[in-house]
């Protein structure tokens, strides 16, 4: 695979639409991961999914046949909790599922409804988001100078049968609109916090990480922002600088064999 494969020490794989669709593993995914590991290339699993905890997604991956340690999985929810913890923003006000909020608790961060105490509002996918919750966030943000941290601003995400569901993005937009303020940080793809973490944890240089994903807007743009090569699993997008476009995961393995 020429310049893309040279010197690669880690591959960061997107999950939905790349390694699996719903509960179905993509053809060639398990073989490609095994092939990379045989060549001592670290495999990291990346997802913007903020509706589930890292443990839940880890359990899904292992049930689908992927062999990994939990630290091999980077999720936008986990990364957001880590980010907020590192900055000492505690307590927090959370918008998101109970699984999402549990990530913050696991870092020892406290959730509070006391508006004046809130140091950061954190936003993930919340399928029960409502006008009442929006009003609550507005009250929190107007009462103090807390930070607003979003897991991601994905417009939607794919579900079974090719249908789409609204993502965290519309929730973030509603909050920004109501509060007349942009969020301070967006942690998930296409921003680079998860890649920076991977590089730091495994002492990798930028060019040693290869991003593989099916989304130009999140996966390829994350790689581009970070400055590392990427492979887009698609036949429809225009080729991007430093991006190789392939139709199937199997093609990557074949190129590496060459």
Q: Which residues bind Mg ion (CB under 5 A)?
A: 14, 16-17, 214-215
Strand partners, 210: 11
214 vs 47: CA distance, rounded Å: 12
Q: Which residue is nearest to Mg ion (CB)?
A: 17
In the complex with Mg ion, which residue's Cβ is closer, 52 or 119?
52
Q: No. of H helices and E strands in the chain? A: 10, 14
18 vs 34: CA distance, rounded Å: 16
Least gap, CB of 22 to Mg ion (angstroms): 12
In the complex with Mg ion, which residue's Cβ is closer, 213 or 229?
213
In the complex with Mg ion, which residue's Cβ is closer, 2 or 23?
23
Least gap, CB of 177 to Mg ion (angstroms): 27
Least gap, CB of 214 to Mg ion (angstroms): 4
Concatenate the DSSP letters of all residues of 84-128 into one string: HHHTT--SEEEES-HHHHHHHHHTTPPB---GGG-SEEEE---TT
Least gap, CB of 258 to Mg ion (angstroms): 26
In the complex with Mg ion, which residue's Cβ is closer, 16 or 251?
16
Least gap, CB of 21 to Mg ion (angstroms): 9
Tell me, what DSSP letter sits at residue 26? Answer: P
100 vs 221: CA distance, rounded Å: 25
Strand partners, 149: 122, 185
In the complex with Mg ion, which residue's Cβ is closer, 205 or 225?
225
């Amino acid at each position: 695979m020429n310049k893309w494969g040279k010197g690669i020490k880690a591959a960061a794989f997107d999950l939905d639409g790349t390694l699996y669709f719903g509960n179905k593993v993509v053809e060639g995914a398990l073989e490609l991961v095994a092939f990379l590991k045989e060549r001592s290339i670290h495999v990291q699993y990346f997802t913007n999914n903020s509706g589930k905890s890292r443990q839940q997604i880890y359990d899904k991956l292992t049930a689908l046949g992927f062999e990994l340690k939990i630290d091999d999985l980077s999720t936008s929810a986990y990364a957001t909790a880590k980010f907020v913890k590192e900055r000492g923003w505690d307590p927090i006000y959370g918008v998101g599922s109970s699984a999402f909020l549990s990530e913050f608790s696991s870092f020892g961060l406290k959730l509070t409804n006391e508006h004046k105490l809130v140091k950061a509002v954190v936003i993930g996918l919340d399928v029960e988001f409502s006008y009442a919750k929006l009003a609550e966030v507005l009250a929190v943000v107007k009462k103090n100078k807390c930070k607003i941290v979003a897991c991601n601003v994905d417009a939607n995400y794919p579900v079974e049968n090719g249908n789409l569901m609204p993502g965290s993005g519309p929730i973030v937009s509603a909050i920004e609109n109501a509060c007349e303020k942009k969020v301070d940080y967006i942690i998930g793809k296409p921003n680079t916090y998860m890649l920076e973490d991977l590089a730091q944890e495994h002492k990798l240089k930028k060019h040693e990480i290869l991003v593989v994903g099916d989304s130009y807007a999140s996966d390829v743009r994350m790689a581009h922002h970070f400055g590392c090569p990427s492979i887009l699993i698609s036949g429809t997008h225009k080729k991007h600088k430093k991006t190789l476009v392939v139709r199937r995961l199997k093609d990557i393995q074949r190129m590496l064999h060459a």
